[in-house]
Amino acid sequence: MKHSLKLALSSLAVLTLVACGSGSPSDGEKTVGADGNDKLEHITVGVIPIVDTAPIWLGDEKGFFEEEGLDLTIETASGGAAIVPGIQSGSYDYAFSNLISLMVANDKGLEMKVVANGITTTGDANSDVGSVLVKEGSDIKSPRDLEGKKVSVNNLSNIGDTTVSELVARDGGDPDNVEFVEVGFSDAPAALENGIVDAAWILEPFQSVAIEGDAKKLVSNFAEFDPELDVAVYFTSAKNAAENPEVTEKFTRAMNRSLEYAQENPDEVRDIVGNYTEINEEVRAKMVLPRFRTEINRDTAQKLGDAAHKYGTLENTLDLEKLLP
């Protein structure tokens, strides 16, 4: 059961967007050097200003995209709902989103194509980037206890309720009897504390903030769904990938370098997050970072797509070959 719940709650306000890049999609546009020669091909990439997108900001700072001949503009969106339409309309050349959102887009015939990995679960059920939290003293002790309870997710029919539903089913419960409601991550800790929801699926940095309060971890839905689950990726339209293969290959190479650098330099990840969000230094030091890796695990992507179809997020079975490179 899924409902959208409108809450009049004060936000924790630790992830407020600060002013970032501006620009327009490339359409093949190149910047021109002082000598009049074409130098860099301009691309615009749409991202959400969260911890997960730190690698692209690092890669831009380190010059990885410029070294590939790309003039990168990073555009920020307030949420994932604007990302796929931005690619479809041509506002972005490439963008960042969780895998389920792209599966849903392709299920509706929009034809998106993954071009690079984004983030992967840590694989550690005790320390992951997101989890389902309950209040201290709650009688909810395992996923099956979520039956008949109100559970918040940031978006309905997406990666949160899909993975939680699978864990409820594995534990012998009936996911159809879980009441999923839509609450933004910044509002979810207060919704849990005030008893508006019985459990809340929350990602970093809000997860760390909630646990420091009166919340405890019930289940790490990404890590326990599959310890090798790739959660989010960089993508473009299938049309752009086909019409601009060289630019896409350059973007993929630069993005892979950025992912590798981020994985090897977690302190720099925490530092750069402070440049494009208002997450303070204390919270950044404590939050759990995802894994950043270049390989995309096809088996877990298929497993995620199968679950999305099973629980009604996808109308059709997943065509993995159309989605992944």
Give the relative orientation of helices 266-276 and 54-62 as an angle to the nearest 10 degrees: 100
At residue 8, the pLDDT reads: 37
Q: Give the pLDDT of residue 37.
A: 42
Q: Given its phi and psi angles, is residue 22 left (phi above 0), alpha (psi -120 to 50 degrees) or beta?
A: beta
Residue 29: predicted pLDDT: 53
Closest CA to 200 of 212, 213, 218: 218
The 10s digit of each residue's pLDDT in 124-159 is 999 999 999 999 999 999 999 999 999 999 999 999
Q: Vertex 288, ends 306 and 118: CA angle to 5°?
A: 45
- pLDDT tens digits, one per residue of 234-275: 999 999 999 999 999 999 999 999 999 999 999 999 999 999
Question: What are the C-alpha distances in Å from 5 to residues 10, 94, 166, 184?
Answer: 15, 31, 22, 10
Which is it for the CA torsion 24, 48, 306, 4, positive or negative?
negative
The per-residue pLDDT for 14 is 36
Domains (range + CATH), the chain: 2-13+123-225 (3.40.190.10), 30-120+230-315 (3.40.190.10)
pTM score of the predicted model: 0.87
How far apart CA 53 and CA 41 sit, in angstroms, is 22
The segments of the chain whose pLDDT lies below 70 read 1-38
**What is the C-alpha to C-alpha distance for residues 298 and 281, in angstroms, rounded to an integer?**
36
In whole angstroms, give the CA distance from residue 159 to residue 78. Answer: 18
CA 58 to chain centre: 17
Question: In this predicted structure, what is the pLDDT of residue 24?
Answer: 39
- Residue 261 φ then ψ, to 5°: -65, -40
pLDDT reported for residue 11: 36
